[in-house]
Structure 1
Amino acid sequence: MENLIISFNAVIPMFIWMVLGYCIRLRGLLSETSQSQVNNLVFKVFMPTLLFYNIYKTDIDMALQPKLMFYIFGGILLMWLLAILIGVKAEKYAQKRGAMIQGMFRSNFILFGLPLVINLFGTEGAGITSMAIAIVVPAYNILSVITLELFRGCRISIREVLAGIVKNPLIIASFIGMGFLFLKIPIPYFLESAVSGLADIATPLALVIMGAAFQITVVKENSRNLILSIIVKLAVMPLIFVTSAIFTGFRNIELATIMIVFAAPTAVASFPMAKQMGSDADLASEIIAFTTLISCFTIFLWIFVLKQIGLI
């Protein structure tokens, strides 16, 4: 019963924030323009601040986990290749293939990873998860661009891909945080307090905005691809990579981080990227909406099972 309560408490706050955002949109309290502006603010100010602060406050000996980082990076590559195999076999149209493949491998780890780990282990353990973002974000960005370029028949611009990674505020914040951590640069109390306050805003606001953007639009012609993408994203991928992580010997915070990398819903950023790069934006938005909704239950089950067998 205790593990059930812990699992419930870890997931439900995020669900409540998303429902609140959805209700805000229904009441007309946020226009689409306002949603876009706040979302931009979250990803360019609040989330980078959260990442910086969590890395800065990390125990450096605990955060240095090369085995964990190697597993996550290797797992993302394998997940991407598996998604390509499934997408190519299941769909003949290139634009739909690109949206499906991105939807099956690209996770919303940033929004789901940190709050879940903090709920389970406290802020002291969030540094490991924050460090993982330095691996996860560039990997997802590069592979997503390659995927969408491949399945619209255009030539891949390596320069543009690298420029996008270098300019990504989450990547910049992660490396600045690591610089402060490794060089042991102290931050004055008044400044640390201000940074901490901004960091506390990030997750609730990001999930509220995600809820506000949540729209269920079932398109009949996409139902087969949508169902397949949901099954692969929320069942097949986590089952493969979380089970492998258990047999590899990962436990506690490390295993929880791996679980969120591979069990989190499809990243919200998949939609604007699909739309901009000529992929099927409707299918992309449906995959995001349904995986986000269903993941509240599947992630709860993962946490409960792993707690029950004493692995986290």
Structure 2
Amino acid sequence: MLAVFLKTLPFFLLIGLGYGAGRTRFFPPEATAYLTKFVFYFALSAMLFGFAANLQLAEVLDWPFVSAYLIGTAVIYGIATAVALLRRRGVQEAAVEAQCAVIGNVGFLGIPMLVLLLGPEAIGPVMLVLAVDLIVFGSLIVILITGARDGRLSPRILVTVALGLLRNPMIVAITLGLAWSALELPIPQPMGEFLTILGAAATPGALFAIGASLATKSAERLSVAGWLTFCKLVLHPAAVALCALVLFEIDPYAAAVMIAAAALPVAGNVFILAEHYRIAPGRASAAIFVSTVLSVATLPVVIAWVTGSGG
């Protein structure tokens, strides 16, 4: 347990360094925005393309795995939605809260951390989790919010969702990487070195950007933030574990990666969506802040459990 905590500590220290730089305004919000853009569009995309280009789609695509993660996530999504509706928050706010309850920081935190801690074989399962989050739940929040505003579902909503997916650099990088792999094209040495150098900037850049962005967020609405954090850090990995280990009997290693990914704190892009649609951005901000802080303690526990390192 202590060994796992010490392995995760450098990641959170990088987040803390970014938080300190942002809090003291040594790294102002404008700089954070540009660093995030660099990581999102360039460094992380290079890392994902490099990973995907060395994978075989037939080996990565595991429908029982996808089903287990999708069902476990959908259950918690439904619970968070129901609680929000019972509090009379409306469909749009419920969609934002449900997103906080299940969408973890897989891109910026999960990929570098889990690949390092669980081994390079974790790349495939982590990418499947990321794909489900982006394609299914990333589309669902847009459909719910836009549909609730318009009072109906229209083809325009589907066009908006499709364009959003096509513009997401993570989806594009993974798709192009898998296509490159399917064509069995070798990666030329200069290109491989280019991807390695650029991709190496993703981990420190992403973690620093997470911390710097947290410096602009507040811990308001602690009661709701606490509930959403409980959903994300406890209920979500528990539901996914039940589906993976009991209902679908997924391969133990793949299940471990899935559960660890489900235990990640709330993703920053939830706040971006909430801010874009002007729906409960303060609530999303608080959930991101509280879940990230508490995950310093909870994430090592989950990783120790799934890897059998709890002793």
Q: TM-score, normalised by structure 1?
A: 0.88
| 2:76 counterpart residue number | 79
Q: How does 1:216-227 map to 2 (within 5 A)?
A: 217-219=218-220, 222-227=221-226
Q: Deviations over 1:270-301 (max 9, x none)?
A: 11211111201111111111111112211111
| 1:137 counterpart residue number | 134
Q: 1:38 to 1:288 in 2, by over 3 A?
A: same
| 1:107 counterpart residue number | 104
Task: Compute the RMSD of aligned alpha carbons.
Answer: 2.4
Unaligned stretches of 5+ in structure 1?
Answer: none
- In 2, the alpha carbon distance for the partners of 1:148 and 1:191 equals 41
- In 1, the alpha carbon distance for the partners of 2:144 and 2:103 equals 11
**Is 2:188 the counterpart of 1:191?**
no
- In 2, the alpha carbon distance for the partners of 1:93 and 1:172 equals 33
- Residue 74 of structure 2 aligns with an amino acid whose one-letter code is L
Unaligned stretches of 5+ in structure 2?
Answer: none
Q: How does 1:140-219 map to 2 (within 5 A)?
A: 140-149=137-146, 157-215=157-215, 217-219=218-220
1:11 aligns with one of 8, 13, 20: 8
State the secondary structure of the residue aligned to 2:89. Answer: coil
- Residue 55 of structure 1 aligns with an amino acid whose one-letter code is A
Bigger shift: 62-71 or 41-50? 62-71
- 8 Å CA contact retained: 1:23, 1:212: yes
Q: Deviations over 1:197-249 (max 9, x none)?
A: 11111122111011011135233xx2332222111221122112213312232
**Displacement of 1:91 after TM fit?**
4.2
- Residue 218 of structure 1 aligns with an amino acid whose one-letter code is A
- In 2, the alpha carbon distance for the partners of 1:303 and 1:90 equals 34
- Identity over aligned residues, as a percent? 22
- 8 Å CA contact retained: 1:17, 1:207: yes
| 1:246 counterpart residue number | 245
1:92 aligns with one of 89, 93, 96: 89
**Displacement of 1:4 after TM fit?**
3.6
State the secondary structure of the residue aligned to 1:213. Answer: helix
Q: 1:236 to 1:261 in 2, by over 3 A?
A: same
Bigger shift: 104-113 or 42-51? 104-113
Q: 1:153 to 1:10 in 2, by over 3 A?
A: farther
Q: 1:131 to 1:177 in 2, by over 3 A?
A: farther
Q: 1:203 to 1:154 in 2, by over 3 A?
A: farther
Query: How many residues align structurally?
Result: 305
| 2:30 counterpart residue number | 33
Q: TM-score, normalised by structure 2?
A: 0.88
- In 1, the alpha carbon distance for the partners of 2:151 and 2:223 equals 27
- In 2, the alpha carbon distance for the partners of 1:99 and 1:42 equals 24
Bigger shift: 120-129 or 23-32? 120-129
Q: 1:29 to 1:275 in 2, by over 3 A?
A: same
Q: Deviations over 1:12-36 (max 9, x none)?
A: 1210110110122234332211111
Q: How does 1:54-73 map to 2 (within 5 A)?
A: 54-58=51-55, 62-73=59-70
| 2:44 counterpart residue number | 47
Bigger shift: 46-55 or 137-146? 137-146
- 8 Å CA contact retained: 2:73, 2:239: no
- Residue 43 of structure 1 aligns with an amino acid whose one-letter code is F
- In 2, the alpha carbon distance for the partners of 1:136 and 1:164 equals 13
- 8 Å CA contact retained: 1:94, 1:152: no
- 8 Å CA contact retained: 1:55, 1:178: yes
2:124 aligns with one of 121, 124, 127: 127
Q: 1:252 to 1:199 in 2, by over 3 A?
A: farther
- In 2, the alpha carbon distance for the partners of 1:149 and 1:9 equals 44
